[in-house]
């Protein structure tokens, strides 16, 4: 594939939640530096010219952008399939009707747990009731509904009840995605990483639900990188399939790549086509020529592309190293030690989690 098919548009870093696993950068963009409506319209036009078909509107909380309806309307006019990725806090019936009329195609709502007490504690604010009400509203308006649940030590033992909630809400799809340890989640890793015993309990529950719900609800389950034998490919390979545009206009091959010591690329300075094809950022880890051993001679090199560059940098200080998740990596002991520590903890502890701060509302 020589063209991207998906664009993740992070419209703002502002968010009403304080999730301890937030993967947004530690230094969040201020609302005054966010791309304007006109700039986003230009970016979306350039994206369609580049071949993008799917637009995922995210943040932070995209509903905090007052021009969200206008952005959706412009994307619809360009023929983009639009997906709103939201906490659903602020998805009022009036706003939902406006987005429906503007052409929004799909809604994905984050759910922290299956019951109010735990959900609100994880989110750092009372939100469970508003989320479930918004999910019902989404179905009433005829949208497909995806629920996204970030799994970790504090909620993975309740995955059966999370799935029951998804059934009750008539979700079309549920993503059970274990925490990725970037951003604020990295600081809370010791309190979030589940034990092997927790995974062994959760996985048969998910398998049974996937079989039982076949044809009614798609169940996606992503195990934690740290517990895998091989790493997952970075977004299908660095700079191969998708782009991310962050609130201030920087373009990234994947959302956490802002942390890497690489030249930046911004839509305020270059076109999306130039960034995709020629920028040092996108060319740096594209393909396989950059790979060290053991990746260079590994038969899986075009399956997982050496794993996650951001994770390699996070754990070793060198983005070109083999992802330490891989059991063949010379640095695998770093991950193995983290897993052993998680296995030694017998119960979740709320007091070790630090909630994520966030900037103010978008203008």
DSSP labels for 296-348? Answer: TT-TTHHHHTTS-HHHHHHHHS-TTSPPTTSTTSTTHHHHHHHHHHHHH--S-
Grade residue 360 by pLDDT with cuts at 50, 70 and 90.
very low
Hey, CA dihedral for 278, 285, 182, 147, is it positive or negative? Answer: positive
pLDDT of 259 higher than 90: no
Share of the chain above pLDDT 70, in %: 93
Indicate the pTM of the whole model.
Answer: 0.93
Where does residue 71 rank: exposed (0-12), middle (13-18), buried (19+ CB within 10 A)?
buried
295 is in an annotated binding site: no
Average pLDDT over residues 207-235: 92
- Beta strands 251-252; 242-245: pairing state: antiparallel
Among residues 133, 102, 94, the alpha carbon closest in space to that of 84 is found at: 102
| The pLDDT of residue 182 | 87
First CA to last CA across the chain, in angstroms?
38
DSSP 128: H
Lowest pLDDT segment from 39-48, 219-228, 267-276? 219-228
Token output for 105: 């195609």
C-beta separation of 324 from 317 below 8 A: no
Task: Give pLDDT tens digits for 98-125.
Answer: 999 999 999 999 999 999 999 999 999 9
pLDDT of 64 higher than 60: yes
Where does residue 223 rank: exposed (0-12), middle (13-18), buried (19+ CB within 10 A)?
middle
C-beta separation of 14 from 360 below 8 A: yes
Look-up: residue for tokens 């897993």? 339
pLDDT of 142 higher than 90: yes
308 is in an annotated binding site: no
| The pLDDT of residue 26 | 63
| The pLDDT of residue 348 | 60
15 is in an annotated binding site: yes
| The pLDDT of residue 29 | 59
Share of the chain above pLDDT 90, in %: 82
- Cα–Cα dist 218/279, whole Å: 37
């Amino acid at each position: 594939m020589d063209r991207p098919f998906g664009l993740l548009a992070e419209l703002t870093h502002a968010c009403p939640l304080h999730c301890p696993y937030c993967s947004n950068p530690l230094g969040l963009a201020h609302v005054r530096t966010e791309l304007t409506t006109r700039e986003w319209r230009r970016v979306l036009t350039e994206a369609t010219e580049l071949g993008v078909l799917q637009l995922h509107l995210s943040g932070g909380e995209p509903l905090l952008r007052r021009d969200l309806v206008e952005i959706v309307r412009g994307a619809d006019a360009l023929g983009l399939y639009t997906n709103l990725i939201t906490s659903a806090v602020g998805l009022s019936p009036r706003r939902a009707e406006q987005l429906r009329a503007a052409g929004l195609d799909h809604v994905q709502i984050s759910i922290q747990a299956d019951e109010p007490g735990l959900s609100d504690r994880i989110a750092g604010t009372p939100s469970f009731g508003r989320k479930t009400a918004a999910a019902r509203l989404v179905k009433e308006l005829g949208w497909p509904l995806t629920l996204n649940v970030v799994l970790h030590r504090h909620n993975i033992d309740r995955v059966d009840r999370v799935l029951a909630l998804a059934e009750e809400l008539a979700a079309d799809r549920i993503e059970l995605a274990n925490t990725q340890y970037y951003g604020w989640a990295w600081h809370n890793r010791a309190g979030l990483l589940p034990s092997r015993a927790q995974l062994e309990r959760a996985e048969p529950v998910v398998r049974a639900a996937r079989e039982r719900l076949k044809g009614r609800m798609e169940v996606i389950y992503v195990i934690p990188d740290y517990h895998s034998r091989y790493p997952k490919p970075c977004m299908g390979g660095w700079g191969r399939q998708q782009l991310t545009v962050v609130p201030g206009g920087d373009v990234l091959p994947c959302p956490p790549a802002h942390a890497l010591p690489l030249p930046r690329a911004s839509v305020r300075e270059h076109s999306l086509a130039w960034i995709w094809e020629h920028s040092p950022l996108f060319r740096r880890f594209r393909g396989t020529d950059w790979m060290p051993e053991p990746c260079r001679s590994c038969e899986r090199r075009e399956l997982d592309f050496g794993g996650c560059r951001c994770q390699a940098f996070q754990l070793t200080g060198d983005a070109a190293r083999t992802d330490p998740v891989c059991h063949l990596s010379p640095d695998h002991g770093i991950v193995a030690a983290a897993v052993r520590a998680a296995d030694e903890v017998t119960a979740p502890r709320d007091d070790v989690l630090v909630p994520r701060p966030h900037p103010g509302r978008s203008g």
